[in-house]
Amino acid sequence: MRADAETDGYRALGRKLSNWGRWGPDDELGTINLITPERRAAAAALVSSGLSFGLGLPLGADGPQTGESGRQNPLHLMTRTVDDPPHPTGFHYFDDALFVHLQASTQLDGLAHVGYDGQLYNGVPVTAVTRAGAARLGVQHLATALTGRGVLLDIPRLLGRRLGRSEEISAALLERAAREQRVAIGAGDLLFIRTGWIARITEEHDRRGFFATEPGLALDTASWLADRDVAFVASDNWGVEATPARGGDEMPLHCVLIRDVGMPLGEMLDLEAVAAHAASIGRWEFFASCAALEVVGGVGSVLTPIVTF
């Protein structure tokens, strides 16, 4: 399938790759339909050592947000403390609350998160998203569905360096990484892409530098992913794709993958430890579980990704 992003633009590319109607006119799962029970069972068989890695950033006041986008870091409050009197029997309990922007940290972009030209995935009108939430394509449909075979493609290890500002990862580079890591990408896979950009947050504590730009996937990777029936893509940057995009378009890969292909995206994962382990054992596939909050009508969610070897 030809996908000349420079010539056709992202709208034409989206029409070529569209999954609208593939799973019926009322579908709200998109490419997550590709993670069948049989594929999940096969993925579970990948577990041998039982060693697990959490890929999420901590939820706290020291999170990545600067407040400039309107998103704030999570606010954790104690609602019952030692200052509250115990029961006459001496029993004491404590309670707390968390106030969180659903896309403030390690996160899931749901299918109602992005649209263009008045439509969301599967032809749902953008008017389905109101102040009450998403009447269609809510993130609750994906909350427990993101489990299956995970594959990590480690681009910095391939290149011998961390990727720089706005640096693009092309389809050819993804193919080279898969070939040199000796791993095949297949239908229903959860694909994790390491750029090394998360170190801006976890090591350098440079929030503004982190969000000012980012390396990531080029637009031509949409065809590469769609041709392999990948179910889900997640990365260690804040928006999966290289930003700013060529030509001045606003998040064109988001537009194609979420709105046209029906593929949810994962962002701001910490892939450093799992990448080091995978390289040490020479194995880049594992069982992956990316649990989201079952927020009815949510367009995104805090994500808790865990992978197990």
- 51: domain CATH number is 3.50.30.50
Q: Which of 272, 223, 203 is nearest to 5 (CA)?
A: 223
Q: Does residue 227 lie within any of the structural domains?
A: yes
Q: Does residue 91 lie within any of the structural domains?
A: no
Distance CA 193, CA 171 (A): 12
Q: Does residue 85 lie within any of the structural domains?
A: no
Q: Does residue 116 lie within any of the structural domains?
A: yes
Element housing 60 (H / E): none
3-state DSSP call for residue 284?
A: coil
Tell me how many domains the chain contains: 1
Block means of pLDDT (10 residues each) for the chain, 309 residues, are 55 98 98 98 98 97 92 96 95 96 97 98 98 98 97 98 97 98 98 98 96 97 98 98 93 98 98 98 98 98 98
Domain of residue 65: give its range: 5-70+101-308
Q: Does residue 80 lie within any of the structural domains?
A: no
This prediction's pTM: 0.95
Q: Does residue 81 lie within any of the structural domains?
A: no
Q: Does residue 260 lie within any of the structural domains?
A: yes
Q: Does residue 90 lie within any of the structural domains?
A: no
CB 149 within 8 A of CB 46: yes
Sign of CA dihedral 124, 292, 63, 297: positive
Q: What is the pLDDT of residues 79-125, one digit of tens each?
A: 999 999 999 999 999 999 999 999 999 999 999 999 999 999 999 99
